[in-house]
Amino acid sequence: MFPSEFTIRGRTIRPATILAPMAGVTDTVFRRVIRGLGGCGLIMTEFTSAEGLTRNSARTLHYLYFDDDEHPIAAQIFGSDPNVMASAAALTEDLGFDHVDINLGCPVKKVVKCGGSGLLRDLPHLEVLFRAVRAGVHIPLTVKIRSGWDEKNIVAVEVARMAEQVGVEAIAIHPRTRMQGYSGAANWNVIRDVKQAVRIPVIGNGDIRTPQDAVRMISETGCDAVMIGRSASSNPWIFRQIAQYVATGRYDEPTELDRYHLLSGYFRSLIAAEMPDAVGKMKQFASLFTHGVRNGSELRHSVHHAQSAPEILDRVDAFFANLTTSSAD
């Protein structure tokens, strides 16, 4: 039975689904797309450098911009210095976030050097960091981890128990090791083991590509909620589809018109928000959103060779207008 909700320190998250933090993806515009489609209980920011936040870097602070209609929303931060992490966490509380989350999952080399999954190699230091951040904020503190550094060092249960003892209030598990990156299969048994080891909410993440996968993860692991990342970036409808599937046993697939409206609306919002990397985001999402669209490769090629945001938007509009015309013939 898929849970209708779960609770983090008295705050009910409904439904029990979470948008995972993704660098270059989960900015305020994308998060509001997910909110608008429905079915997602909690959204999270891109993971954000604690060092950048404490230096009041304008670029770093930009990652933490959000609108009122995005609640409930959690800020995710990364870093390795306990005092800096505590200060950064306090800043997210001042900004009005509902939760703060510590990133212990990113496998990227430049992040591992100063946090992310690299901290899973030094659990005594990690405990000091947990305690510093817990003491630095009043809002709920959560963490997102990988199963361990490599297959010989699976530490998820140990980290979860430590986190619970320190006062962390929920834990998300991506059950791949850092050395796996995003290759191979996520070992959902690790999620099950963590769920059996602690009393705080346990959130499962990894290899949820369809609503059926989300239901199966809950059934096989007993976790309290599911977190979806990469699948949501290519199929933002997945949260709504999970809600439909749980309620009726079926779900709707987006039509070409749905994809056009989402893509066009997202692009217009990027332009309106004056995103500095709007062109790059447009090219990225045009590729993700148009698989399954008739002649989608033509649109991806056209967008890839455009030079500006307005030009990309014009090409998207023209492509779907031609698609509609050809369907009517």
Name the residues annotated as catalytic: 106
Helix, strand, coil tally for the chain in percent (to 5): 50, 15, 35
Alpha carbon distance 240, 235 (integer Å)? 10
- Sequence-distant (6+) residues with CB within 8 A of 1 are 218
- Closest residue by Cα to residue 136 from 171, 175, 92: 92
Give the residue from 120, 241, 239, 109 showing the smallest Cα distance to 171.
Answer: 120
DSSP string over 9-76: TTEEESSSEEEPP-TTT-SHHHHHHHHHH---SBEEPPPEEHHHHHTT-HHHHHTT---GGG-SEEEE
Q: Residue 188 has what DSSP assignment? A: H
C-alpha to C-alpha distance for 168 and 157, rounded to whole angstroms: 14
Q: Is the peptide bond before 201 cis (omega within 30 degrees of 0)?
A: no
Residues 174/144, Cβ–Cβ less than 8 Å: yes
The rounded distance, in Å, linking the Cα atoms of 270 and 253 is 25
d(CA 220, CA 84): 38
C-alpha distances in Å from residue 169, one per residue of 45, 226, 284 = 18, 16, 34
Contact 144, 103 (CB under 8 A): yes
